[in-house]
Amino acid sequence: MNLQKISELKYGWNGYKAEPFSKEHIAATQRVLDIIKTPPRIYPTANDSIQLEWETNNGEYLELQVHNNGDVTAFSSLDTREERMRGYGFPEDYHSINDIEERRNYNDTRRA
């Protein structure tokens, strides 16, 4: 799914009572996407967040959830701690997105 389609979801989009995503929430997610070089898979969640995720062929995983208040929660299989980040920036030492992409490219090259 892409962010445009998520912005068009209506009340009850999940078959239950999930609310549509606000324009502000979509804009906050777009600001995060603008920072990231590698396109993620994008999913709406019924807990008022939009999930961005990356996974390598060897199972390494990174997930960012952009919440409706603009906070971002990150989970990475490379780093077992969960970080909650206020606003739209990332901690300076948080390199999991690039780490995962570099490993994906390396693994794909080795298989060729």
> Is the pLDDT at 9 greater than 60, yes or no?
yes
Judged by DSSP in three states, 79 sits in strand
Q: What is the pLDDT of residue 97?
A: 60
Q: What is the pLDDT of residue 87?
A: 42
Which tokens hold the place of 102?
Answer: 């570099």
Judged by DSSP in three states, 35 sits in helix
Q: Which of 1-5, 82-86, 93-97 shows the highest mean pLDDT?
A: 1-5
More confident residue, 57 or 19: 19
pLDDT, tens only, 29-88 = 998 888 887 889 999 998 889 999 888 777 777 888 999 888 888 877 765 554 544 444
Amino acid letter, 95: H
User: How many helices (H) does the chain have, and how many strands (E)?
Assistant: 3, 5
CA-to-CA separations, 5 to 11, 61, 66, 86, 95, in angstroms, rounded? 14, 24, 16, 26, 28
Which tokens hold the place of 14?
Answer: 């999940």
> Is the pLDDT at 91 greater than 70, yes or no?
no
* 111 pLDDT tier (thresholds 50, 70, 90): very low
